[in-house]
Amino acid sequence: MILTYNDNRELKNFTNTNSKKDTYLNLLVLRCKDIEKSKEFYEKLKLIFIKEQHGKGPIHYSTSMGNLVIELYPLTQDIMDNTRLGFSINTDDLENYLKDKKIDIDTTYAFNNTVTFVVKDPDGRKVELTSNQTK
């Protein structure tokens, strides 16, 4: 179930019609000013990247999460990126985990009894983090 707004800006329930998984996200490419810094940041979130190059294309990094492939490519133009990401991390104390990894918490909010920590990646993209462990 997803909460969404009706025309009067009141929240209403919305059932995901894609429950058969006819369509799913399988590729996300993030353009990065410094792919080494971005790789280091996302590795702190427990992602493991491999270095790739397709033909004469740029060297980049790739990881997979189930059916989703995430690639970090070098930014070739100075463009504004408002992409917002969210990850659920396997840790029982996410706040201390982030502090131990020296990841600054930008903001925090709670929704449906889950605390979400919002951080920024090296390119300024907001990344929402929750723990997939229940207390």
Report domain 24-131's class. alpha beta
> What's the sign of the alpha-carbon dihedral 32, 36, 40, 42?
positive
Q: What is the pLDDT of residues 28-71, one digit of tens each?
A: 999 999 999 999 999 999 999 999 999 999 999 999 999 999 99
If you write DSSP's letter for every residue of 21-54 in order, what string do you get? -SS---EEEEEES-HHHHHHHHHHTT---EEE--
pTM confidence score: 0.78
Residue ranges of the domains in the chain?
A: 24-131
pLDDT, position 132: 84
Polymer length in residues for the chain: 135
CB neighbour burial string for 41-68, b if at least 16 within 10 angstroms, e if fewer: bbebbebebeeeeeeeeeebbebeeeee
